[in-house]
Every structure is written in structure tokens, then in C-alpha cells.
């Protein structure tokens, strides 16, 4: 049997054991793993009997690997047996090993108690979902730009908006620096792709012209050796090009969309922009309410839960970078950051998410939410579809624990839906609106 002792708030000690028969399995495993290490006179290497090795070196030589063999299963069984809701890695101690087997203790942090009231009728500031003509025009201009063709300019000099093909070489203190050289590079003037003022100095030039561009690297530049330093670039203009953007007319619309007229196209664009803004507004509303739940809930959250969530966010961020072809190490180097500094940036959001999740779990408990097999099946189907999996195969590889975790997620979603449906919109104050304008 396993037992639990409360050590302090949200921290307990689980005591559990394995019987002699199971520990003997661990000892056999350890012997087979390590027998080649022992060279005993009269025996070929790896052939010395276990009892002889134990007589000479003591049974303890096999304990470490024996413990590692039996411990994971025994710990998992103890956690389930005691119903302990563990939120940290265990600190394991071996209490005893004898003829009866082995006794272990695991000190862990557990999910904290939550107290919450007043979660119905929470206030939130709604987002504006209206779409202006300027926003519609900006979207359509972007679509027209995608359909543009690039042509070489020979009858005038370069100007903002043009694309100049350049060779360049950069110097600091009259010495070339690493990464400061390129050939045949297409640079759109006004795109702010290069250092401030670099592109401005390439106006009014023609193919074949050469220029010296003087800039100063920003103080927060990712490469510390260049940060804040003046530099010059020797630049040669190979070609000046411009985008030829098609006119917005019925021909353009019929060639590039499913519509036949400009009016139909504009109407559809506006409807889609409103739909997108509405979805974004709902997302912001939910974020506001989750943050508010975290504030009104009484929770003493163990530090490890914040750390775990921050680590998870960093891992997701790293995977996202790798998916786009950039190792996280390269990203950190470019921005002169460290893993810890990036995690520090994630920490406030991690705290909001942890507190909000705990609050929603408590609301689900208070409301008595349950998950039907039909709801679980529907959620598995959704996950399979979104990730391109076969639903039957996904169900096959999902264990009981994974399905229980999924049920918990569904309950949390039900709780959030309840909070959202009961929330009350609060009008923005004039002061808040002015502050927003200043921030923008």
C-alpha cells in the first residue's frame, strides 16, 4: 500500500514500495546489464555468476540499475493509487532495500485548491468589428500587388517603391564585416528591410551607378559587435525595376476571383474582413475573461506550475521556428538573446494561463460538467481532422490517460463557454480610447 503525507501547502510525500519478487526482477536486469563490467579470476569476462560478484562486491553494486528498473512503474502506480494530482517532477529517495523488497518516497507538488465566486457576469471590453472602406481598399491593394508583374525601368531613376538589384559590401572602421556582403540582391525601396536610412540613399540612381551608403547600426542590433557602430556600404546598382499593378476592374476580378464584377468582389471582401474581425474579437474577449478569472480566483499556485507552462511555451516557440527552417539557437544569436531571457518574456502570459486554467477547472467542478462518449468521440474526430490523422488510428494509440486528459479539456471548454455566455460588455471610457490612440 502507498501512503501520502502532507509536508506543506501543495507539497506532499508519497511512500510506496515494491515487493521482494519484483525487486528481484530488477536485480536480474541489473546483473545482465552490468555483468560484463566485472573481471573475476577464473571466469571469462561476463561469465562470473551473480552470487560470486555479490559476495566480492556486495549486493549494492546492482542496486542502482535495479532501482531504475522498478521505480517508474511503482511510482506511477502509487500516484494512481493515492489519487495524487502531481504537478512537478518527483524528488525520489530510497528509504530501504532488504529481503522484503524496496521502499521509496517521492516528494511532489500537487495541484492547488481553488476558491472562486462571481464568475458569472464578468465584464469585458468588446472589440470593434466594423470594417472601413480604407481597410477594404488596403486588402484589395494587397491582392492586386500579388498579381503584379515586375518590369525593368530604363527611362528614369530609382524612387521609393521600386526594386533595385544591388551588389553591396559593408565596412566598419574601414574593415569588411561578416554578413555585410551580397550580390544580385533585390531590395524594395521603402520596405525597411535594411537598416534605417539605407534605402533612402538609393533613390535617384540608375543601373550602373555606384554609391556609398552611410548608416549607423541600432543600439539593440542583434550582432553585439556591430550594435551602435557607424558603417559604410559600397553599393552598385545592377538594375532598377518596378511593379506593374493591375487596375481594379471587372476583368481583373473575373481573372483572379470567383466573381464577375468589382461590386461583388468588394462586398465579399468586406464580409470576410468582418468575419475575421469578429473571430478575433471573440478570441480577445475570451482572453480578457480568462485573465479576469485568474484574478478573482483564490489560488496559491506552486512555482513549478508557472515554470512548466513557461517551458512548454518555449518548446512550442522553438518548434515553430524549426518548422520555418530556423533553429532556435540561430534565432537567439541573431537577436542577442538567451533561452532564459525569452522565457522571462513568456512568464507573464504563462502565469495568466495557469491561473485561468485552474479557475476554469474549478468552475467545471462547481457546475458539475460531465463529458459524454459522444462529445469525446466528436473531439477526437476534430483533432484527427485538423492534424490529418485517421480517426480510428488516433483512437487506437490514445490510452486511458490521454482520453481522460481530453475529457478535462472539454470540461474546461464548457466552463469557458459558460463564463463567456454570462459575461457583460463594458463600454470603453473616453480616457481608455485616447490611451489606445496614443499607443497606436
Kindly report, residue by residue over 243-257, the tens digit of the pLDDT. Answer: 999 999 999 999 999
Provide the 10 A C-beta neighbour count for residue 412: 19
3-state secondary structure 272-284: HHHHHHHHHHHHH
User: Taking residues 261-266, what's their average pLDDT?
Assistant: 97
pTM: 0.76
Taking Cα atoms as reference points, which of 425, 431, 433 lies closest to residue 289? 425
Helix extents (H) in 205-302? 250-256, 262-296
Classify 64 as helix, strand or coil: helix
Classify 46 as helix, strand or coil: coil
Tell me the Ramachandran region of residue 18: left when phi exceeds 0, alpha when psi lies from -120 to 50, beta otherwise.
beta
Residue 122 has pLDDT above 50, yes or no: yes
pLDDT reported for residue 396: 85
Tens of pLDDT, residue by residue over 296-336, are 999 999 999 999 999 999 999 999 999 888 889 888 887 77
pLDDT reported for residue 429: 58
Do 164 and 239 meet the contact criterion of CB atoms below 8 Å apart? Answer: yes
> Cell for 41?
579470476
DSSP class of 249: S
pLDDT reported for residue 214: 94
Q: Domains plus CATH for the chain?
A: 3-110 (3.30.70.1050), 149-244 (3.10.50.40), 265-439 (1.10.3120.10)
DSSP class of 192: -
pLDDT reported for residue 334: 73
> Cell for 140?
484589395
> Cell for 213?
551608403
What are the strands, taking DSSP E only, across 125-191? 149-152, 163-172, 175-188
Amino acid at each position: 500500500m502507498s501512503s501520502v503525507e502532507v509536508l506543506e501547502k501543495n507539497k506532499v510525500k508519497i511512500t510506496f514500495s515494491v515487493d521482494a519478487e519484483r525487486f528481484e526482477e530488477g536485480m536480474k536486469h541489473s546483473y545482465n546489464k552490468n555483468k560484463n563490467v566485472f573481471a573475476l579470476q577464473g571466469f571469462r569476462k561476463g561469465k562470473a555468476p551473480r552470487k560470486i560478484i555479490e559476495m566480492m562486491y556486495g549486493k549494492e553494486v546492482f542496486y542502482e540499475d535495479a532501482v531504475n528498473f522498478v521505480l517508474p512503474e511503482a511510482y506511477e502506480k502509487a500516484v494512481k493509487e493515492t489519487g495524487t494530482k502531481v504537478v512537478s517532477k518527483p524528488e525520489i529517495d530510497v528509504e530501504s532495500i532488504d529481503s522484503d523488497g524496496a521502499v521509496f518516497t517521492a516528494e511532489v507538488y500537487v495541484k492547488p485548491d481553488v476558491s472562486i465566486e462571481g464568475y458569472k457576469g464578468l465584464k469585458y471590453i468588446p472589440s470593434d468589428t466594423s470594417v472601413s472602406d480604407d481597410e477594404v481598399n488596403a486588402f484589395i491593394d494587397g491582392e492586386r500587388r500579388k498579381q503584379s508583374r515586375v518590369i525593368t525601368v530604363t527611362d528614369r531613376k530609382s524612387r521609393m517603391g521600386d526594386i533595385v538589384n544591388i551588389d553591396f559590401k559593408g565596412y566598419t572602421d574601414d574593415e569588411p564585416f561578416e554578413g555585410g556582403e551580397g550580390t544580385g540582391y533585390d531590395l524594395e525601396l521603402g520596405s525597411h528591410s535594411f537598416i534605417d536610412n539605407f534605402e533612402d540613399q538609393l533613390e535617384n540612381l540608375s543601373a550602373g551607378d555606384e554609391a556609398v551608403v552611410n548608416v549607423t547600426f541600432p543600439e539593440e542590433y542583434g550582432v553585439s559587435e556591430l550594435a551602435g557602430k557607424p558603417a559604410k556600404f559600397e553599393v552598385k546598382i545592377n538594375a532598377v525595376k518596378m511593379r506593374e499593378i493591375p487596375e481594379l476592374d471587372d476583368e481583373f476580378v473575373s481573372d483572379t476571383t470567383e466573381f464577375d464584377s468589382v461590386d461583388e468582389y468588394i462586398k465579399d471582401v468586406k464580409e470576410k474582413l468582418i468575419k475575421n474581425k469578429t473571430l478575433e474579437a471573440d478570441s480577445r474577449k475570451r482572453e480578457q475573461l480568462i485573465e479576469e478569472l485568474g484574478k478573482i480566483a483564490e489560488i496559491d499556485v506552486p512555482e513549478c506550475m508557472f515554470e512548466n507552462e513557461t517551458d512548454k511555451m518555449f518548446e512550442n516557440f522553438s518548434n515553430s521556428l524549426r518548422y520555418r527552417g530556423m533553429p532556435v539557437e540561430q534565432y537567439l544569436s541573431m537577436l542577442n538573446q538567451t533561452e532564459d531571457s525569452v522565457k522571462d518574456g513568456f512568464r507573464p502570459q504563462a502565469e495568466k494561463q495557469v491561473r485561468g486554467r485552474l479557475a476554469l477547472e474549478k468552475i467545471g467542478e462547481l457546475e458539475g460538467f460531465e463529458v459524454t462518449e459522444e462529445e469525446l468521440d466528436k473531439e477526437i474526430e476534430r483533432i484527427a481532422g485538423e492534424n490529418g490523422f485517421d480517426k480510428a488510428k488516433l483512437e487506437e494509440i490514445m490510452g486511458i490517460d490521454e482520453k481522460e486528459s481530453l475529457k478535462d479539456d472539454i470540461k474546461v471548454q464548457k466552463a469557458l463557454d459558460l463564463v463567456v455566455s454570462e459575461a457583460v460588455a463594458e463600454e470603453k471610457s473616453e480616457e481608455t480610447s485616447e490611451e489606445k490612440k496614443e499607443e497606436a
